[in-house]
Structure 1
């Protein structure tokens, strides 16, 4: 069961931290690209929309799935706690609380990844809509 504890601590939480770097890195890259995008070089609305929204789906996917990954860590942590209780045959409050704290840590990290990712996606989506509106205003469409 030590493997399961390591899986929750380093596997699930480590994966969530990696996803947060992917989300924030992609958001920064997209923000800079959108800010510097020259709308006059695009011939159609579809062309500019494709360029502006490139890779933004990763941010949305991370934002919507991070809580579930955290929940997976929680379920694994609770399973570990119950297994420990079953193996030892008696309830040691300290071990139960440590196991539950480990489980809840995964959920907290999942939410800490999801909330900023969702906010960043919405901010970027607003910036894309602004650029598309400017393109339509300039091109009369």
Structure 2
């Protein structure tokens, strides 16, 4: 029977990197959907700013959540990788191979790097889309000031 240690040692990379890939896919889907929507939204169709805000901000939370949490998922993978390395060291019976330790630790750090690689574009897209939301909100306000000012 496979122990938890053996399971984690074999599959932690697939679990963490798979989760980060899934988060990237969800984020990219939300980004594409938002860019398409914000590119063709007609603010004059909205009678109040609250309905406009609901539509403008839809899916932005998903993008922000991925950007904020991807580094933590990567860090979790790194911490588990380091724990596994130390566990293996403790069970090695004193045969410590520095090269092997460095390889295991460097492989553990790749999860954090991938988490950061997912987070950076997420936050760039979130900020760019936030600006588009603000521009559309200001267009609505300008349009409605002109209607009420006449």
The Cα offsets for residues 53-86 of structure 1, whole Å up to 9 and x where unpaired, read as: 1111010011001111111001000001001111
Q: 1:5: Cα distance to partner?
A: 2.3
For the residues of structure 1 that align with 2:99 and 2:71, how far apart are their CA atoms? Answer: 27
**TM-score if structure 1 supplies the norm length?**
0.95
1:3-82 mapped onto 2 (5 Å cutoff): 3-82=7-86
Q: Aligned-pair RMSD on alpha carbons?
A: 1.2
Q: 1:2: Cα distance to partner?
A: 3.0
Q: How many residues align?
A: 141
Segment of structure 1 superposing worse, 31-40 or 2-11: 2-11
Say if 1:39 and 1:48, in contact at 8 Å, map to a contact too: yes
1:104 corresponds to which of 82, 90, 109:
109
In structure 2, runs of 5+ residues without a counterpart are none
**TM-score if structure 2 supplies the norm length?**
0.90
For the residues of structure 2 that align with 1:44 and 1:15, how far apart are their CA atoms? Answer: 39
Which has the higher Rg, Structure 1 or Structure 2? Answer: 2
Say if 1:8 and 1:106, in contact at 8 Å, map to a contact too: no
